[in-house]
Amino acid sequence: MEKVQDKFLRYVGVWTTSDPESTAAPSTERQKELIELLAKELKQMGIKVKTTPKGVLMATIPSNLPKGQKAPVIGFIAHVDTAPDASGKDIKPQIIPNYNGKDIVLNKAKKIKLSTALFPELKGYKGQTLITTDGTTLLGADDKAGVAEIMCAAEYMVNHPEFKHGTIKIGFTPDEEVGRGVENFSVKDFGADFGYTMDGGAIGELEFENFNAASAKIEVQGCNIHPGYAKGKMVNAIVVMNEALAMLPPKERPEHTEKYQGFFHIVGVSGTVENASANLIIRDHDTAKFNARKRMMLSIQQKMEKKYGKGVVKITVKDQYYNMRKIVEPKYFIVQKAIDAMKKAKVKPKVQPIRGGTDGAMLSFRGLPCPNIFAGGHNFHGKLEYVPIESMEKAVEVILNISEVKI
């Protein structure tokens, strides 16, 4: 069998960055390159595969249980795209064997390093083998580590007929990083009773509750007049935008929040005197607080209208996904199954809320309860991303433990 790290290194070599501005499905055609590669590899294993023109892959490993013995149909899901927050092109992974527990220089020329002072969790991987970036791109462990782990587990099942399991479903999706991961994913066609996204972080993480999420866009229409004659006439869209953003609670930004605390996050601002726009995301685990945050955005528009008149400031808020706890908690046996699988693999489970979202959140509300299991990576979406090989190996073991049926 091929090692999980070899699969991972092959997959990160495929450029799959998604595009939040695109309306195509998938948002970038390059994601299909990895989908096609995965389909080819699954077919070579003898696994039945179906792909769609919109970049979704579904595969089935048939049950090999004795006739008459039944088991739930379990799905494992990961996404092939990488976040547009940092470059995902021409990734050059570095392998750090027998990590010594000290700072890791990723790029000497650019003076970029993984610091144990900034990331003390690094010390916990002393003696293990880490895969890092070269300091110029992200790595893609989010979520190609999850993809590699599912592929490795699938290969094991096919090559070991003595390993007994029910029907196993595999799903790979595009565009998770831009909030459209399951836009064209048919739960009915997938056919699983429940599933797991392999899209979590550090080893042991297990999540069945996530943020409620919305996007917000602020648009300002200014009035550009020659600055020499602007008194009483000019409306500087940049100044108005700054005023609007300043109305958000300064302590309710991501850099000041943790655990169950929600936030407003300004992800992009652009503008001229004539026009300005800003994109934000709104997050909160608590539904009532989430709704209050959305109302706050709209109240900012009302306040700005009173000052500048109608049409100067427009704020649009759109829901993205909701907290899966409402769906998963009544079926807690799914979570317990993952906990038991981790313990069997000698991994300490860390059940915690996701300070983010996964495809599993939207799938849960579509009828496929879908908690999230660690894929092993750290520092997602940036140039300091890394993943321990041993964590990926344990994730493969957890998938197999969840899948195994005793006869």
Catalytic residue positions, numbered? 81, 176
Contact 74, 168 (CB under 8 A): yes
- Largest Cα–Cα distance of the chain, in whole Å? 87
Q: Which residues contact 60 (CB under 8 A, 6 or more apart)?
A: 47, 48, 167, 168, 169, 170, 191
| Phi, psi (deg, nearest 5) at residue 392 | -65, -40
240, amino acid identity: V
Contact 30, 16 (CB under 8 A): yes
User: Helix 389-403 crosses helix 141-159 at what angle (to 10 degrees)?
Assistant: 50
> The sheet that has 168-173: what strands, in order across it?
48-51, 57-61, 168-173, 74-79, 194-200, 372-374, 205-207, 350-351
Give residue 308's Cα distance to chain centre.
39
In sequence order, the β-bridge partners of residue 165 are: 404
Structure tokens, 364: 């849960």
Q: Minimal CA–CA distance to 324: which of 200, 187, 210?
A: 210
Contact 256, 205 (CB under 8 A): no
| Phi, psi (deg, nearest 5) at residue 94 | -120, 135
Beta-sheet pairing, 313-321 with 212-221:
antiparallel
Listing DSSP states for 293-361 in one string gives: HHHHHHHHHHHHHHHH-TTSEEEEEEEEE--THHHHGGGTHHHHHHHHHHHHTT---EE---SS--HHH
Q: Which residues contact 389 (CB under 8 A, 6 or more apart)?
A: 4, 5, 128, 129, 130, 131
